[in-house]
Copies of this chain bind each other. A is one copy, B any other.
């Protein structure tokens, strides 16, 4: 499945979330990740993220069973391209 993950956490926790998400997905923009991932690894990422987060923090994961159901359009500067997106 293909996912987009966006987190909004306090500054003191961004480093840990960044490191965690980078183990599973591709960083594309400030607090934004995308990539292909198995359901098992996605579950793992969520469990690990919960361990790092506190109540006020937020992680939203959009998932699509098929990458082709998602079109990506970058306006302006592409921080980190994932050319193998399609």
Contacts and interface: CB of A to CB of B under 8 A. Distances in A.
Interface string A42-71: 000010011001111111111111100111
Number of copies of this chain that the complex holds: 2
Nearest to A50: B75
Interface of A: 4, 6, 8, 28-32, 34, 46, 49-50, 53-66, 69-79
Contact of A72 (B31, B34, B60): B60
A6 B34 CA distance: 12
B62 A76 contact: no
B70 A58 contact: no
A55 B6 CA distance: 23
A56 to B, nearest CB: 5
